Amino acid sequence: MKLLKPSWVSHHGKPIFSVDIHPDGTKFATGGQGEDSGKVMIWNMAPVLREEDEKNEDVHKMLCQMDNHLACVNCVRWSNNGLYLASGGDDKLVMVWKRAAFIGPSTVFGSSSKLANVEQWRCVTILRNHTGDVMDVAWSPHDVWLASCSVDNTIVIWNARKFPEMVTCLRGHTGLVKGLTWDPVGKYVASQADDHSLKVWRTVDWQMEANITKPFNECGGTTHVLRLSWSPDGQYLVSAHAMNNSGPTAQIVERDGWKTNMDFVGHRKAVTVVKFNPKIFKKKQKNGSSNKPSCPYCCCAVGSKDRSLSVWLTSLKRPLVVIHDLFDKSIMDISWTLTGLGMLVCSMDGTVAYLDFSLDELGDPLSEEEKNSIHQNIYGKSMAITNTEAQLSTTIIENPEMLKYQQQRQTSTQTNSAPGTVGPESSAPKLNSVMNGESLEDIRKNLLKKQVETRTADGRRRITPLCIAQLDTGDFSPALFNSVPILPSGSSMSNQLTPHLSSDSSPGQPSSLGFRPSHDPMLTSPPANSLKALEDNNEGVKSTLLLTSASKIEPIKALDSRFTERSKATPGLTAAITSTKECKLKEDTSSDSEDKMASINKNLMYSKRKPELMIDGGEVVEKRKKGRPRKEKMTTSMVQSFTQVHTVSVPPSAVAALRLPTPSTQKAFSLQVSMEPSVFLEVENEVTVVAGSKLSQLRCSKDGRDWNTLLPSSTLESVDLIAVASEDRMLSVFSSCGRRLLPAIQLATPVSALHCTAHFVMVVTAGATLSVWSVLIQRKRYTLSVFINTSVSQSLLTQQGVPVVGLSNGKSFCFSSSLETWSLIADKADSLVQCADFRGCLSSHDAPVSSGPLAVMQGRYLNAGRLASRLSSTPHHMQQSMTLAFLENQLASALTLQSGQEYRYWLLIYSRFLVNEGSEHRLRELCKELLGPVHTSATTSWEPTTVGFRKRELLREVLPVIGENLRFQRLFTEYQDQLELLRNK
Amino acid sequence: MAKVQVLNVAVLDNPSPFRNPFQFEITFECMEDLPEDLEWKIIYVGSAESEEYDQILDSVLVGPVPAGRHMFVFQADAPNTGLIPESDAVGVTVVLITCTYRSQEFIRIGYYVNNEYTDPELRENPPIKPDYTQLQRNILASNPRVTRFHINWEGSAERMEDSENVDPSSNSMLPPSCLPGKAPPIGILPDNSMDCL
């Protein structure tokens, strides 16, 4: 053991009442009497630990001193995370300090530079409630609460997450409360007072758990403090001043039954402070000794009014060491380093001593894992020690599964935070400059001229000071929103915005292309190129690329202008589909052909615009990509499916409210559907004239095999199922081999848009009818007449055959077959989207589903919404409920769209949000719905699956999310058990 | 605790002719919004002999003061020469900046001021009646003496039991540096805050 008294640690000879070593071991705080006030000082630990640092002039010894307390500081304590320092003093106040990293003064004005504050610690909160001197303060494990006790006989529990909110005031002591300690597991807080009692309080309901008086009956109120301590294994609570046979002792109180059978004896005067070493030790294994596992033990330091210090190991009957005459006056406080090997002791005489132990003396400290296993053995699965981030440190984990998820979460958060670890400096409060781009020098030059000076009613001068910086400590943040923006310059608002937007709309992000291609530079630039290419091709041989248009090629300019002006029509859809496919392609294949695909895709799209033909190029490409690897399967399924298709629908022609544009026909065109295997689709109208009737030829070449069909007319639409709509309102459907699958369907009005997905064919006619045919199930027909005064700007058919339309007013609807109605799935003007903030609930594991129909229809508005939320200053509860509403909308929409992946994606976000916000009722309802009835009966209407997922599988995914919040462990256990039960069935 | 911390005082227009106004650029920080104005004063010590020669050059209200860091320039006219004893016109004296909140002084910043003739001729043979037009005022800006007092920042409900502001003890941060021997004892300052003289 080494002993050192750093003489430079002093409050100018005034008493030092408290000492505490920072959790990171680099600094320590002292509290006590200042010249004319209370004083808190922060010191560098390095000069204490190393002699060379002590001698080095460049190593600062004192880091900061705070004279803010009006009277003597009785206690200083660092929070467990090291970000805060709490101090309590005779001025009845508790102050919470935080490191400020700002441009602030390196010196205190008017002082010499030698006494400069190296670090700036700012008082962020003053906790006022006590009506007498504050004697002790203590942070609960994981800094959930801060407790303070006072000579006003009370203990106040503060909400350390929301200072200065008070959780409760513990009343019951009838004398001055002089010491506090938290149970390391977080279930209790114990206090010792001059009323000859030690009381243990439960943190669950803040009621008294135990009142121990017997060992204290003989005590007189003679000590300044009574700092008691709880052992790191939680088994023992050791009091300060107690009496046994008129001798002063430190009473050992067992957690089990609060029995008081043992004590530390030997001090000649009252014990003022007891402090357990934070580590649990085990005996050092010596060479040759038996490998018999020794019992772990704790280490405890006891300081007394008799000026001596004793250090005990719970495994030994006698103290490890007793040091007399270390100080001239009573010992006031003890603090161990987190390593368990160093200890600082302070005394009323104004000095501090440092003790350095070796492993040989104390034993081998257990690792955190070993400490955990001890905790687990004693208390079951306790997260209090293992999980440094646990929200509810007080809760014992009752379920091993729960523990697993907690630990997983912890490790993941650790790994996440590891690379960009932010030190206390960066998270410390900052002063935000509000100078609007002006340098301080500029301001100073003109300050006299610029400052506002008025005269008060009684003729006195009154100067309005110029605010050059605002405090940003959280408490002051509202002011930031109301005043001048804290941005470096006036235009910086947009500067700040653009990077987000541009990153969101980067080419790799398909979702960003979802809407309004006319305004999107991404989409407006290519057409010119592709058209040029087209023209070139036009003259040459029919190359791999696109169509040759025999009819008039409109000037590029005209096309461009249409793109900018006619944003409502089909380009929106095609763009959306293209982007979707791009994404799908990227998922499906990794070859670089996908890029070519995409570009072709785009070209197709634009070229198609030109002749105003509805060619769903995107679909084609997608089909091709899919079709190639599993061609056989496709074909067979095709064959089967077509049998059921019904024939013509005759849409109600009376619906005249809505007239949709129809594409015009052209003489001939071809399109290449994919590069490999090369598939061409060619249409030539008016091929031959046989007996006065015109015939069109549709030719598709694939893998060298060609097939030809002759059609009596001339509009065309192509897909994997190849659907061809002709001018005479006939719709024909062919298989990929060219087999006619349906008899020609007669449509009431000309076709406006045509889509094919999987085995669905959707037709939007100019008569505002939307029809979907399925090759598997029955034909469905929907009417669009609901949407009056708008026109369809976008239409889409999902993989599940759900038709989706985007209207010109920004709303998107899909037809819910179960509800037999159109349901709103997206609304650009929806303020919920603008304000919903669920970024915190986005999991890094789930890649955002950007290819689903919901994502396609909502597109970038989702992203914009996230941005908006970052800028708005909506009150939290408002934002919370808006987010909730938004997420529920998303869920409902995904459900209606039968978009399984999206449903799952939003379900997980939704449940994570509920978990974060603590909405137990909704969570429970959700779980209940997913679990369904455990016992099935004939009357149960519960569907075991939803949108292609088994609900219970979904629940299995949701449960780990719930498991991340300890508060819901009951809920977690409940459903976990039921799931197990069902599985075993 | 002190809600207002003076971070810096810059002495502007220094040195300057005696009749120029005093200009101090004061930067201070406030912990929380102050419901009342701060009152700043500039006091010119006319003579070391007696406080009765002290002149309050000006007093100014500063407000509103929200939480944050603020600055302003406090400008006050030069002292009325008629009130300065002729024998004390030339030489070292003191100018004080004080600030009060709710009529309680919580900070006092003192500067030594050296008034002397720029003309060597005059310096050698100063006229009996001081020629203020020739005098130059030089404030020893690098050496402010700061004394802080604890006051009751809250409402007047609870008066400070200990009247620290009446009898402040010395500021621990005063540097033990030496000053020109000519410096007069300054009665208005708390004894111990200038005890290094």
ipTM: 0.78
A937's tokens: 């009966």
User: A70, A112, A117: best mutation site toward chain B, by most B Cβ within 10 Å?
Assistant: A70
A970's tokens: 């009951």
CB contacts, 8 Å: A461 with chain B: 58-61
Q: Look up residue A750 and give its amino acid.
A: P
On whether any CB of chain A is under 8 Å from the CB of B59, the answer is yes
Of the pLDDT bands very low, low, confident and very high (cuts 50, 70, 90), residue B17 is very high
Say which DSSP state A662 is in.
Answer: -
pLDDT greater at residue A64 or residue A20:
A20
**Helix-helix angle A556-565:A593-609, to 10 degrees:** 90
Q: Is there a cis peptide before residue A248, judged by omega within 30 degrees of 0?
A: no
Give A467 to chain B, closest Cα distance, Å.
4
Q: Identify which of A35, A461, A475 has the shortest CB distance to residue B169.
A: A35
Give A463 to chain B, closest Cα distance, Å.
5
Give the E-state strand segments of A675-712 in sequence order: 679-684, 689-690, 693-694, 696-702, 705-711
By C-alpha distance, the chain B residue nearest A91 is B1
Cβ–Cβ under 8 Å, residues A481 and A472: no
User: B4, B23, B31: best mutation site toward chain A, by most A Cβ within 10 Å?
Assistant: B31
Of the pLDDT bands very low, low, confident and very high (cuts 50, 70, 90), residue A667 is very low
User: B30, B33, B71: best mutation site toward chain A, by most A Cβ within 10 Å?
Assistant: B71
Per-residue pLDDT reduced to its tens digit, A525-560: 334 344 343 344 444 333 333 333 333 333 333 333
Interfacial B residues in 89-118 facing A (CB < 8 Å): 109
Segment among A393-397, A446-450, A810-814 with least mean pLDDT: A393-397
CA A437 to CA A739: how far, in whole Å? 71
| pLDDT at residue B157 in the model | 47
pLDDT greater at residue A976 or residue A742:
A976
Phi, psi at B178, each rounded to 5°: -90, 160
CB contacts, 8 Å: B148 with chain A: 67
Q: Look up residue A59 and give its amino acid.
A: V
| pLDDT at residue A682 in the model | 56
| pLDDT at residue A30 in the model | 95
CB contacts, 8 Å: A34 with chain B: 172
Segment among A488-497, A806-815, A887-896, A973-982 with least mean pLDDT: A488-497
CB contacts, 8 Å: A472 with chain B: none
| pLDDT at residue A851 in the model | 63
pLDDT greater at residue A878 or residue A151:
A151
CB contact under 8 A, B8 and A444: no
Average pLDDT over residues A10-37: 90
HEC-encoded secondary structure of A724-786: EECCCCEEEEECCCCCECCCCEECCCCEEEEEEECCEEEEEECCCEEEEEECCCCCEEEECCC
Per-residue pLDDT reduced to its tens digit, A237-258: 999 999 988 889 999 999 988 9
Task: For the sheet with A705-711, list strands across it.
Answer: A668-674, A679-684, A696-702, A705-711
Average pLDDT over residues A263-285: 89
**For the stretch A289-318, what's the b/e string if a residue is b when 16 or more beta carbons lie within 10 angstroms of its beta carbon?**
eeeeebebbbbbbbbbbbbbbbbbbbbeee
| pLDDT at residue B139 in the model | 92
Of the pLDDT bands very low, low, confident and very high (cuts 50, 70, 90), residue A179 is very high
| pLDDT at residue A543 in the model | 34
Residue located via tokens 């081999």: A737
On whether any CB of chain A is under 8 Å from the CB of B6, the answer is yes
Tell me the average pLDDT of chain A: 68
Give A482 to chain B, closest Cα distance, Å.
13
By C-alpha distance, the chain A residue nearest B172 is A35
Instruction: Give which of A670, A660, A541 is closest to A603, Cα–Cα.
Output: A670
On whether any CB of chain A is under 8 Å from the CB of B22, the answer is no
Distances (CA, A) of A948 to A758, A786, A854: 16, 29, 16
Evaluate if residue A599 carries a pLDDT over 70.
no
Where is A578: in which H helix or E strand?
helix A571-588
Q: Over the Cα atoms of chain A, what is R_g? A: 38
A417's tokens: 């935070």
Of the pLDDT bands very low, low, confident and very high (cuts 50, 70, 90), residue A133 is very high
CA B6 to CA B11: how far, in whole Å? 14
Q: Identify which of B61, B67, B169 has the shortest CB distance to residue A471.
A: B67
Q: Identify which of A67, A115, A470 has the shortest CB distance to residue B68.
A: A470
Phi, psi at A360, each rounded to 5°: -60, -35
pLDDT greater at residue A943 or residue A571:
A943
Evaluate if residue A230 carries a pLDDT over 90.
yes
A82's tokens: 């090291």
Segment among A131-140, A286-295, A549-558, B107-116 with least mean pLDDT: A549-558
Instruction: Give which of A698, A524, A488 is closest to A605, Cα–Cα.
Output: A524
CA distance from start to end of chain A: 63
pLDDT greater at residue A675 or residue A635:
A675
By C-alpha distance, the chain B residue nearest A462 is B61
| pLDDT at residue A308 in the model | 92
pLDDT greater at residue A842 or residue B43:
B43
The DSSP-derived string for A840-885 is GG--SSSPP--SSHHHHHHTTHHHHHHHHHHH----HHHHHHHHHH
Instruction: Determine the 3-state secondary structure of A601 from DSSP.
Output: helix
CB contact under 8 A, B60 and A463: yes
Segment among A246-255, A277-286, A389-398, A761-770 with least mean pLDDT: A389-398
By C-alpha distance, the chain A residue nearest B33 is A476
Residue located via tokens 């001048």: A484
| pLDDT at residue A286 in the model | 61
Evaluate if residue A412 carries a pLDDT over 70.
no
| pLDDT at residue A253 in the model | 93
Give B173 to chain A, closest Cα distance, Å.
5
Cβ–Cβ under 8 Å, residues A344 and A354: yes
Phi, psi at A502, each rounded to 5°: -65, -35
Evaluate if residue A106 carries a pLDDT over 60.
no
- A470-484, A581-595, B76-90: which is most confident: B76-90
HEC-encoded secondary structure of A371-432: HHHHHHHHHCEEHHHHCCCCCCCCCEECCHHHHHHHHHHHHHHHHHHCCCCCCHHHHCCEEE
CB contact under 8 A, A93 and B2: no
Evaluate if residue A659 carries a pLDDT over 70.
no
A197: left (phi over 0), alpha (psi -120 to 50) or beta: beta
Distances (CA, A) of A436 to A442, A487, A536, A973, B25: 11, 7, 55, 55, 20
Segment among A307-311, A453-457, A601-605 with least mean pLDDT: A601-605
| pLDDT at residue A170 in the model | 93
CB contacts, 8 Å: B169 with chain A: 35-36
| pLDDT at residue A310 in the model | 94
Give A162 to chain B, closest Cα distance, Å.
17
pLDDT greater at residue A707 or residue A741:
A741
CB contact under 8 A, A470 and B31: no
**Helix-helix angle A876-897:A900-917, to 10 degrees:** 160
| pLDDT at residue A880 in the model | 75
By C-alpha distance, the chain B residue nearest A453 is B62
CA A454 to CA A456: how far, in whole Å? 7
CB contact under 8 A, A461 and B61: yes
Of the pLDDT bands very low, low, confident and very high (cuts 50, 70, 90), residue A314 is confident
| pLDDT at residue A156 in the model | 94
Evaluate if residue A196 carries a pLDDT over 60.
yes
CB contact under 8 A, B6 and A109: yes
| pLDDT at residue B126 in the model | 86
Evaluate if residue A85 carries a pLDDT over 90.
yes
pLDDT greater at residue A71 or residue A432:
A71
On whether any CB of chain A is under 8 Å from the CB of B58, the answer is yes
Give the dihedral sign, CA B80/B82/B88/B90.
Answer: positive
Distances (CA, A) of A435 to A231, A249, A486, A873: 52, 61, 8, 22
Per-residue pLDDT reduced to its tens digit, B149-183: 878 887 654 444 443 443 333 443 333 333 333 34
> What is the pTM for the complete model shown?
0.47
Give the dihedral sign, CA B125/B126/B128/B134.
Answer: positive
| pLDDT at residue A629 in the model | 35
Evaluate if residue B101 carries a pLDDT over 90.
yes
CA A494 to CA A850: how far, in whole Å? 27
Evaluate if residue A484 carries a pLDDT over 70.
no
A566's tokens: 């006619």
Average pLDDT over residues A576-581: 36
Cβ–Cβ under 8 Å, residues A715 and A663: yes
Phi, psi at A500, each rounded to 5°: -65, -45
Evaluate if residue A205 carries a pLDDT over 70.
yes
CA distance from start to end of chain B: 29
CA A43 to CA A346: how far, in whole Å? 13
Give A81 to chain B, closest Cα distance, Å.
24
Per-residue pLDDT reduced to its tens digit, A785-809: 555 556 677 777 777 777 777 777 7
| pLDDT at residue B40 in the model | 95
| pLDDT at residue A468 in the model | 79
Residue located via tokens 């920072």: A22
Per-residue pLDDT reduced to its tens digit, A302-313: 999 999 999 999
Average pLDDT over residues A592-607: 39
| pLDDT at residue A148 in the model | 95
Q: Identify which of B1, B67, B173 has the shortest CB distance to residue A110.
A: B173
Evaluate if residue A669 carries a pLDDT over 70.
no
Give A177 to chain B, closest Cα distance, Å.
24
CB contacts, 8 Å: B145 with chain A: 110
On whether any CB of chain A is under 8 Å from the CB of B65, the answer is yes
A589's tokens: 């294949």
CB contacts, 8 Å: A443 with chain B: 71
Cβ–Cβ under 8 Å, residues A343 and A355: yes
> Beta-carbon neighbour count of residue A440 at 10 Å?
15
Average pLDDT over residues A337-349: 92
Cβ–Cβ under 8 Å, residues B114 and B123: no
Per-residue pLDDT reduced to its tens digit, A904-923: 888 888 888 888 777 788 88
Average pLDDT over residues A186-207: 92
CB contacts, 8 Å: B9 with chain A: 109
On whether any CB of chain A is under 8 Å from the CB of B173, the answer is yes
Give A580 to chain B, closest Cα distance, Å.
51
pLDDT greater at residue B177 or residue A35:
A35
Give A252 to chain B, closest Cα distance, Å.
39
